[in-house]
Structure 1
Amino acid sequence: MSSSHVSSATGWRDWCRERVATLFPGYFALVMATGIIANAMWFEGHRDISDVLLALNVVAYCALFLMTVARLIAFPRAVWRDLSEPRLVFAFFTLVAATDVLGVGLSLRGFATIALLMWIGALLVWLALIYLGFAILIFVNTAERADIIFGGWLIAIVATEAVAIHGVVVAPSLGDAAVLAVLFGHMLWGVGVVLYAIFMVQFTQRIFFADVRPQDVTPLLWVVMGAAAISTNAGALLVLTDTSSSFLLTIRPFVGGVTLVMWGWATWWIPLLVIFGIWTHGVHRLPLTYTPLFWGLVFPLGMYALASLRLSHAADIPALDSVSRVMVWIALAAWTLTSAGLAGVCWRQLRQLGSAATQP
């Protein structure tokens, strides 16, 4: 083998190794965003678009999962450093939410067993992360107040509600235990709503009563809306789910009322988040360049579309379906732009790598 070939092979190996070592733990938001738009397109009747997105999502999930496992094996200290960082630990919840969103998409297409296994896996990871995350928050975090301006901590709520939704979807495959899965879904939905209320107290204090710099406003801010939207989605699904439990039927009006409040709260945030974007990139002219955080903007748009559709069925208000029909295309447009940004970054990196490999 010539020295140029050896250099090229070494360059590619080093590049791949660096990608794995520096993998952002929240990159599974890409799968979350793609999956939720695929699911929304499915329910809106655009099955061909949904199938294409699902196929891309399976590839993305497998690639990110393998990279995560490789990072855990080859760079355990880097993984632990991220896990023990209060501002990063909750990013790992994107793995849970991505698994659940993809699992729901597979369940819609009849892959019940795979969807059930994915739900069990997501639940186990959620159980480990939820207590590790709060342990880090309690014992490691040294900030005087919880600075969640990036909205990253709210991904824990998104993952909690995603487990609830996925569990209710796969419940029919559990036979006699289905009612327990639905009951568990109600419990997780409640946990997510309570955690959202707790975190939002800190969040609103930070964003409304403290200095906010343009660089503080990142795409992850949209998770504030996304967490409320997925709580709406979960609540509406619970209202629509048939159950033999008289107790669950009794609390259904309560679930429906809270669900409507969460949808209203999510809706209220959308114009404000747009204003934040204009203030950051229009007034202060911060460059609008691709980062993996942009998937944290795309996901809430898709989730809001699906939540509006499901709420229209739960509340029997067909007019809400029109909101979903518009928002799902906005979400797809945002997904396309973000994907183009990712492709551009990858292309530039590969060109630089190829140029370096051909130099003598």
Structure 2
Amino acid sequence: MSERSPSGSAGRWATLPPATGSAVMATGILSVGLHLTGFELLSVVALWLASALWLLLTIGFTALFLGDRRRWRTSAGTPPALTAVAATTVLGVRYELLGWTPVAVGLLVLAALVWPVLLIAVLRHLTRRAPGAAFLICVATQGLAVLSAVLAPTCGDWLAWAALPLFLLGLVLYGDALTRFDFGQVVRGAGDHWIAGGAMAISALAGSKLLASGVWSGGAETALRTTTLVLLALDLIWYVVLLGGEIVRPRPGYDLLRWATVFPLGMTAVAALSTSAATGVGWLDSLGRVLLWIAVAVCLLTAYGFARAR
């Protein structure tokens, strides 16, 4: 098949940068958090918005693959391309919470097929002094772990066992991204520097979902509980550090990468809520509720900035 430029409506969506997937991740995780805190109507609205944008981005991603293979390969080798995997798994989690297990399973299969292709391409091109988007190698992997663990009670314990190596690999990939991260991004990043904390948050969420699966007992359960609490503590430390960077050097203007700020804020809230439920640490639930509304407020501000920019 000869390469050709995408055309028509699909072609317009094919021109969207891969980082647009952060908007799906942000809206999707807020939907999960709103569901966990009892705001079902707002949660469903956020879910449909995230699903609609995911569908448009999927059409564009496919159109680019079919119409301009060279440009697709270039995009696929950048860390933001992994938002395709992360966004798909976040939506899968929300659909499973809605009781739509076949949809959640389908999204898990799709994410699992795309993940190794994009991960290998990104790792081959990852450089030193990387921006916060480098942590997406961890986020995408932990997204698979989270969705697998969430589906385990319905589809079988084997999914929890499959999630465990993904969880551990995600931690290794976090370490790799941390060695490459340009820490100067904390005070000058355009928004994706928050993924440094968001990757730790989704790691804590993966640990809490593994713990809640009921597969583990004895020493393994204790180790998983301790690891989850430590990961959440590290995420909260990142939260304070990144917030301090925003205070020291405010960056109020809209940037597409600000959606990559909303996602870690929402993910930290959901991780706190989930960890509270899995470990029985009650005050984490209250903390998660407060952090959730902070994330919602930042999401609304980002959406307003997006509307003004258009």
**TM-score for both structures, normalised by structure 2:** 0.91
Structure possessing the higher radius of gyration over alpha carbons = 1
Contact 2:79–2:136 (8 Å) recurs in 1: yes
Question: What is the alpha-carbon distance in structure 2 between the residues aligned to residue 38 and residue 21 of structure 1?
Answer: 26
Q: 1:158 Cα deviation (Å)?
A: 0.6
Q: How does 1:189-208 map to 2 (within 5 A)?
A: 189-203=167-181, 206-207=182-183
Q: How does 1:144-163 map to 2 (within 5 A)?
A: 146-148=128-130, 150-163=131-144
Q: Does 1:64 align with 2:53?
A: no
Contact 1:214–1:280 (8 Å) recurs in 2: no
Q: Does 1:237 align with 2:209?
A: yes
Contact 1:217–1:280 (8 Å) recurs in 2: no
Question: What is the alpha-carbon distance in structure 2 between the residues aligned to residue 198 and residue 219 of structure 1?
Answer: 20
Aligned-residue identity in percent? 31
Partner amino acid for 2:159? A
3-state SS, counterpart of residue 251 of structure 1: helix
Q: Residue 127 of structure 1: which of 116, 125, 140 is its match? A: 116
Partner amino acid for 1:236? S
Contact 1:21–1:78 (8 Å) recurs in 2: no
Q: Residue 324 of structure 1: which of 278, 288, 296 is its match? A: 288
Q: Residue 220 of structure 1: which of 192, 211, 219 is its match? A: 192
Question: What is the alpha-carbon distance in structure 2 between the residues aligned to residue 272 and residue 306 of structure 1?
Answer: 19
Partner amino acid for 2:161? L
Q: How does 1:303-318 map to 2 (within 5 A)?
A: 303-318=267-282
- Write out per-residue CA displacement over residues 185-208 of structure 1, whole angstroms, 9 at most, x where no aligned residue: 1111111112212322343xx42x
3-state SS, counterpart of residue 72 of structure 1: helix
Q: 1:90 Cα deviation (Å)?
A: 1.4
Aligned pairs, how many? 305
Q: Does 1:83 align with 2:76?
A: yes
Pair 1:314–1:170, CA change in 2 (3 A): closer
3-state SS, counterpart of residue 19 of structure 2: coil
**TM-score for both structures, normalised by structure 1:** 0.79
Question: What is the alpha-carbon distance in structure 2 between the residues aligned to residue 113 and residue 162 of structure 1?
Answer: 18
Q: Does 1:295 align with 2:259?
A: yes
Contact 1:31–1:61 (8 Å) recurs in 2: yes
Question: What is the alpha-carbon distance in structure 2 between the residues aligned to residue 261 and residue 242 of structure 1?
Answer: 20
Question: What is the alpha-carbon distance in structure 1 between the residues aligned to residue 186 and residue 132 of structure 2?
Answer: 15
1:103 matched residue in structure 2: 92
Pair 1:42–1:90, CA change in 2 (3 A): same
Partner amino acid for 1:336? L
2:225 matched residue in structure 1: 256
Partner amino acid for 1:303? M
Gaps spanning 5+ residues in structure 1: where? 1-12, 347-360
1:187 matched residue in structure 2: 165
Q: 1:338 Cα deviation (Å)?
A: 1.0
Gaps spanning 5+ residues in structure 2: where? 1-5
Partner amino acid for 2:288? S
Pair 1:337–1:182, CA change in 2 (3 A): same
Partner amino acid for 1:104? V
- Write out per-residue CA displacement over residues 205-247 of structure 1, whole angstroms, 9 at most, x where no aligned residue: x42xxxx38984221110011011111111011111122x66x
What RMSD over aligned residues (CA atoms) do the two structures have, in Å? Answer: 2.2
Q: Residue 303 of structure 2: which of 335, 339, 351 is its match? A: 339
Question: What is the alpha-carbon distance in structure 2 between the residues aligned to residue 308 and residue 172 of structure 1?
Answer: 21
- Write out per-residue CA displacement over residues 64-98 of structure 1, whole angstroms, 9 at most, x where no aligned residue: 111222222233222222234xxxx1111100010
Pair 1:18–1:184, CA change in 2 (3 A): closer
Partner amino acid for 1:218? A
Q: 1:279 Cα deviation (Å)?
A: 2.9
Q: Residue 277 of structure 1: which of 214, 228, 246 is its match? A: 246
Q: Does 1:33 align with 2:12?
A: no
Q: Does 1:170 align with 2:168?
A: no
- Write out per-residue CA displacement over residues 296-320 of structure 1, whole angstroms, 9 at most, x where no aligned residue: 1000011010100111122211111
Contact 2:22–2:263 (8 Å) recurs in 1: yes
Q: Does 1:52 align with 2:33?
A: no
